[in-house]
Structure 1
Amino acid sequence: MKQLLILSGKGGTGKTTIASAFIKLAKAKVYADCDVDAPNLHLVMNQSAEAKRSNYYGLPKAVINPKLCVQCDLCLQNCRFDAIQVGLDYQVDDYACEGCGVCESICPVGAIFSKPVLTGELMLYLDDAIFSTAQLRMGSGNSGMLVTEVKKQMRTAAITDHDLAIIDGSPGIGCPVIASISGVDMVLIVAEPSVSGISDMERIIKTAAKFQTRTAICINKFDTNIENTVIIESFCQKFNLPFAGRIPFDPDVVKAINRGQSIVDMDCEAGRATKNIFDKTIKILFQESLG
């Protein structure tokens, strides 16, 4: 099963809009939303079945037993994350604690122990397709680990033969993006023709290169800045990166999203351009795999 990952350097570039269109065009039976901080692919895909939900526990965090604590102050003095709070008792701030274990190791009376903390929820939809996603709890870390579980859940559920899995990744280049890239066959970067968009694109390309992952580029809302669009296309040509195409700014995209539809569910200019990009991307993906 080939895995196509769709990424962008920042939120708001149209990554999920394009991912949902690709899923519809491919009639994909396996897909995932790895933007665990703010998953929204389900809003467009209109799942009919209830999700199978399971709790996700990230790295353990420290807990202080007030009955054993002698208030020696060693944990407070040695916590570099300022996670120890002092009131009537010594307590650990779950949001500040990084689970490093220093306080537990230096406590002279064994009053501190590590406890698994609920940091998110995994969701798996199994109706006419396999859709894996998750929601990270507010203020929780370990988003990269949760992304890994989303992909693992998707692959485990896809026990029968499938040609293609489409993954909607996270914005940026942090841990969730790195976890998203790991193991995929190709990355399609949705670039934005702005100064920050060009910088974001270059950062993702460098990140994907560390994994030796095939990368292609498309530009969304290209006509909002033709000059920067030309810069992106020239960059792709200079570094021999496949350029999948341009998508124009189209007010009908907003109408489709407000209706809970994909842009290929209605006849619009952006939808037609996305169809062309899809055809080219799939050709690149499977030609690369055959080569």
Structure 2
Amino acid sequence: WATLQSDLAEMNEMKGELPEGCLESLQRLAKNFRTFVLRYAQEQKTQIFHNRVVMAHALERSKQTVDDLTARLDSREGLLERILKRDHKLTHEVQSLQKSCRDLKRTYEGRLNQLNIELDGLRERNKRLGQELEQMILKETTGPQTDFEPLAPRAPTSKEMTQLQEKLHHAEDELAKARKEITSLQKHIEQGREGDVPGGMGGTMAPKTPRGGPTRESVSTPTKQSKNELSDQVDVMLKKMDVLMQGDEQSIQNLFKGSYFQPSLATELDRAVHDSSDEEELEGIPEGDEEGGEIGEIGGL
């Protein structure tokens, strides 16, 4: 390009007729112009080829990026499908677990209601036994009285004490049975609260019973409270039975103080002394069994 400019400048400086060297200058100008055009075309061709190469590389990278994005999209779709399947499965398991919990709750409420009914009947029976026991003791310790001085109390005979012991043991067996049922029910309730899968509740299902019973808030607390009250009452009952079987007059007097005892009888009990033969019979009687210590007091319910 500089050569062409120089040749054109020389031609502009020429004046008048064309000198002999003008033709030579024109030929040189044409040659240089042709060389310039060819070189420019070659450079443009090289630049275009380079641009094409760059564009091809960019297109290849774009295709690779598109392929990667497509693969990631397919992976995300597969993951989403697995998540939906798992969510559906978990929803079904939760529904099954809720149904099992409702069935178990109804079963335990019915069983607890039945146990409450049985406990009420057992309390009434224990109350009657306690009243019968007190009446028998009162009948045996009091006799025909005169106008001057009451008779001294008499200890129960061995036959009567045997009958009392049989009644006591029978009542203790009934109370022990009720205690076991209450303990078993409490264990079932605790296991039902801790269970986290439906399969883990198969061993805790109780027999089906009629619907009804306490509310959700009263399923566990009233049972524990009743058990504690029964445990305290049975301890008192066993202590009283020990006193009765030992046959000590002062202890019996302190045990059965009440409105049904006359003051004169209480005074007479303070001075009463049992016959030695009766004491020997009472010594052969075993002390009360304390195994039923968690159920209920026979005479105090």
TM-score (norm 1): 0.21
TM-score (norm 2): 0.21
Q: Which has the larger radius of gyration?
A: 2
The structure with the greater share of residues assigned to helix is 2
